[in-house]
Amino acid sequence: MKLSVIGAGYVGLTTAACLAQIGHDAFCSENDAEKLSKLQNGVMPLFEPHLEGVIKAVRRAGRLCFRSTEEAIAWGDAIFICVGTPPLANGDADLSAIEGVARAIGKRAAGYRLIIEKSTVPVQTGAQLRKHLSVHSTNGLRYDVASNPEFLREGTSVEDFLHPDRIVIGTDSPRASDLLREIYEPIVKQKFTCPIHSSCPKRQGPIFLATDTNSAELIKHASNSFLAMKISFINMVANLCEAVGADVTKVAQGMGLDPRIGSSFLNPGVGFGGFCFPKDLQAFIRIAEKSGCDFSLLREVEKINQGRIELFVEKVRRELWIVRGKRIAVWGLAFKPNTDDVRFAPSISLMKALLADGAAVRAYDPEATEKARAILPEVTYCSDPYQAAEGADAILLVTEWDEFRHMDWKRLRSAVEQPLVIDGRNVFNPEDISGKGFRYVSIGRLDALPRQLSEEKVESSSFRAGNNAQEVTA
């Protein structure tokens, strides 16, 4: 089928490349001229495992090209809208890019088009799209609108697109539903040449869930808000563990063994970031508010997450006593491993706080350096983790890139000023790191307790429930 994809970001590029990979012809458009020119010249504007290889292959096969939005709109039988929906100051999703695309489609397209919202949008956006398409349509455009929320994760986007758990479509039109089934048939049947695996792990294929438009839109926001809630929940459990002398890793393991809970998203840390969870949570809260539903549960989820960096910086202050003038190595800048995306990344808020405290920050990330530099030029960016640790009073692990699991600790021991690791993702085994001669502090584990308090707690059986780690250990 002839498919157009508007917006060549993490979602649009993956969508266009993977749709071409499964046999369709795809036009992908981008309104950032520099990005578009890079793509046309075979240069990747972002880092995403496997994506560059897929794009090269499908372009060679003549099934993907990068064009202007006007050309893409005029060409495709179906148009996937994959533009950004960033947060406004009040938490609402900014839908101006979506509205701009709808206007362009109304003006440019003729005949029948299936218009698919893949960007994450508030419930009832489909209804707004229908209304605006009819207002702007000047060439006798006939159309259906469908919601097709995207669940891919940065870092594994190609794999997630080709081997998803579920494909959700929301439309009130049987024609749109049939077209979407046709588009996704190779994925549902897992019948395509997989660019990643020689033998694919998920042979079953995903559940294809067809709903009305509003429900599909809500599925996406509700899913991300639920996952955010799981993270904030375990982060509060980690605080409690620090306060009472328990190990959150064991608590999470014990919880996760219950299949109703599951073990994923039970890793405590410096909080969630990225272009999805923070803004989707905010947008969902606003949708509830505007619909007269009191979803203050989610406000707490957000508040807990916003407090994570301050709690982490407090650990740094507690360990270093005076932060001003100290050299601090930050390992990991991307909001998660295997991406170069630093949008709403915890590393950025953390480095801002450390700089405000007067520290000299030396940061390293395998992929995200340039994007972080554009936001915080006052940080010294290093070409490897050892260089970042040179003369450091503390090494802070912020993003759990695999590379950090294979460090030469002897080399690090002689590079640092103070042998101190503060692990914001509980990547290391406390005994391992102490065995290498480093003081080790992590999140919600027994090692995180200052020694004298740890002893006090063994003697005391009374828990001060409700206190957070700072209040108890200050």
Ligand X SMILES: NC(=O)c1ccc[n+]([C@@H]2O[C@H](COP(=O)([O-])OP(=O)(O)OC[C@H]3O[C@@H](n4cnc5c(N)ncnc54)[C@H](O)[C@@H]3O)[C@@H](O)[C@H]2O)c1
- Name the segment binding ligand X (CB under 6 A); options: 27-35, 231-239, 315-323, 457-465: 27-35
Q: Nearer Cβ to ligand X, position 143 or 275?
A: 275
80: contact with ligand X by CB under 6 A:
no
Taking CB under 6 A as the rule, which mask of x and - marks residues 30-49 in contact with ligand X? xxx--x--------------
In the complex, minimum distance from the CB of residue 374 to ligand X, in angstroms, rounded to a whole number: 14
11: contact with ligand X by CB under 6 A:
yes
282: contact with ligand X by CB under 6 A:
no
- If DSSP codes are grouped into helix, strand and coil, which group holds residue 28? strand
Token pair 């986007």 in the structure block, residue: 157
Q: Nearer Cβ to ligand X, position 48 or 365?
A: 48
Joined tokens for residue 252:
């999470």
Q: Nearer Cβ to ligand X, position 115 or 276?
A: 276
User: Who contacts 179 (Cβ-Cβ below 8 Å, separation ≥6)?
Assistant: 1, 77, 78, 114, 144
186: contact with ligand X by CB under 6 A:
no
Query: Which listed residue (18, 28, 82, 276) is catalytic?
Result: 276
In the complex, minimum distance from the CB of residue 242 to ligand X, in angstroms, rounded to a whole number: 31
Token pair 């014990």 in the structure block, residue: 254
3: contact with ligand X by CB under 6 A:
no
User: Who contacts 337 (Cβ-Cβ below 8 Å, separation ≥6)?
Assistant: 155, 399, 400, 401, 402
- If DSSP codes are grouped into helix, strand and coil, which group holds residue 173? coil
275: contact with ligand X by CB under 6 A:
yes
10: contact with ligand X by CB under 6 A:
yes
In the complex, minimum distance from the CB of residue 198 to ligand X, in angstroms, rounded to a whole number: 26
Joined tokens for residue 316:
């740094």
Nearest CA-CA partner of 64 in 105, 30, 119, 23: 23
Reported as type and span, the H/E element at residue 380 is strand 380-381
CA distance 31 to 275: 19
Q: Could you please report the per-residue DSSP string of 94-129?
A: --HHHHHHHHHHHHH--SEEEEEE-S---TTHHHHH
85: contact with ligand X by CB under 6 A:
yes
- Residue 42 is given by DSSP the state T
Q: Nearer Cβ to ligand X, position 235 or 282?
A: 282
In the complex, minimum distance from the CB of residue 341 to ligand X, in angstroms, rounded to a whole number: 7
9: contact with ligand X by CB under 6 A:
yes
Q: Which of 3, 4, 5, 6 binds ligand X (CB under 6 A)?
A: 6
- Name the segment binding ligand X (CB under 6 A); options: 81-89, 176-184, 394-402, 434-442: 81-89
73: contact with ligand X by CB under 6 A:
no
User: In the window 99-138, what residues touch ligand X (CB under 6 A)?
Assistant: 100-101, 119-120
165: contact with ligand X by CB under 6 A:
no
In order of 41, 153, 391, 406, 437, the CA distances from 419 in angstroms are 46, 35, 10, 17, 7
Token pair 């001003």 in the structure block, residue: 324
Number of residues that bind ligand X (CB under 6 A): 28
User: Who contacts 40 (Cβ-Cβ below 8 Å, separation ≥6)?
Assistant: 66
In order of 38, 294, 367, 398, 406, the CA distances from 401 in angstroms are 27, 38, 10, 9, 10
82: contact with ligand X by CB under 6 A:
yes
Number of residues in the chain: 474
29: contact with ligand X by CB under 6 A:
yes
Active site residue 276: yes
Q: Nearer Cβ to ligand X, position 152 or 350?
A: 152
- Name the segment binding ligand X (CB under 6 A); options: 80-88, 134-142, 202-210, 248-256: 80-88
- Name the segment binding ligand X (CB under 6 A); options: 82-90, 237-245, 352-360, 390-398: 82-90
- Name the segment binding ligand X (CB under 6 A); options: 23-31, 134-142, 357-365, 456-464: 23-31
Q: Nearer Cβ to ligand X, position 288 or 323?
A: 288
User: In the window 131-160, what residues touch ligand X (CB under 6 A)?
Assistant: 150, 152-154
Residue 316, CB-side half-sphere exposure with 13 Å CA sphere: 32
Q: Nearer Cβ to ligand X, position 72 or 389?
A: 72
CA distance 82 to 341: 17
CA distance 116 to 81: 6
Q: Nearer Cβ to ligand X, position 222 or 446?
A: 222
In the complex, minimum distance from the CB of residue 355 to ligand X, in angstroms, rounded to a whole number: 26
Nearest CA-CA partner of 107 in 68, 138, 75, 69: 138
Binding site for ligand X (CB under 6 A): 6-12, 29-32, 35, 69, 82-85, 97, 100-101, 119-120, 150, 152-154, 275-276
Catalytic residues: 276
